Amino acid sequence: MVLYRKMTPEDVEAVHEIELASFPTPWTLDSFHYEMRENNFAYYLVAENDAEKIIGFCGMWLVIDSAQITNVAVVEAARGLGIGEGLMREAMRIAKEKDVDVMSLEVRVSNVVAQNLYRKLGFQDGGIRKGYYTDNQEDALVMWVNLNE
């Protein structure tokens, strides 16, 4: 069983380990501490397994009536088990609770697995950000969903 809960400052180290293993240009440990302690717009979720080990996380910024997904990652051993979908569904539920109308995100144009998940959740293609990713100048596909439909 997987438990989805709000991330706390005590979770930063575990989340950062997942970040390091998941992205070619990972956020720094300090960035996650800032998100937890100082960014009033930030809301992060973690997924915990039965052993209370964090196996995934999802971050978003909630600004007025919109939400921007900042990052979503799952440990490699737990990928393909629906954890990412569970994190996204929980983020969408929380955003709706907070009267958010629209949620958006950027995803690598090469990350078809993630794009398919987002489309399954109702996200639509919104455009391309040329050279968005700094590690290889890959384009990002902007995707969005209206949470009130």
- Put the strands of the sheet holding 102-108 in their side by side order: 3-6, 42-48, 54-63, 66-74, 102-108, 140-146, 124-129
Residue pair 56/84 in contact (Cβ under 8 Å)? The answer is yes
Is residue 48 annotated as a catalytic residue, yes or no? no
Is residue 106 annotated as a catalytic residue, yes or no? yes
Kindly state the DSSP code that residue 26 receives in the 8-state scheme.
Answer: P
Helix (H) or strand (E) holding 120: helix 112-120
Which one of the listed residues 76, 97, 118, 149 is annotated catalytic?
118
7 CB neighbour count, 10 Å cutoff: 21
Which one of the listed residues 4, 19, 44, 106 is annotated catalytic?
106
Q: Could you tell me whether strands 42-48 and 54-63 are parallel, antiparallel, or unpaired per DSSP bridges?
A: antiparallel
Rounded CA separation 103/110 (Å): 21
Provide the annotated active-site residues: 106, 118
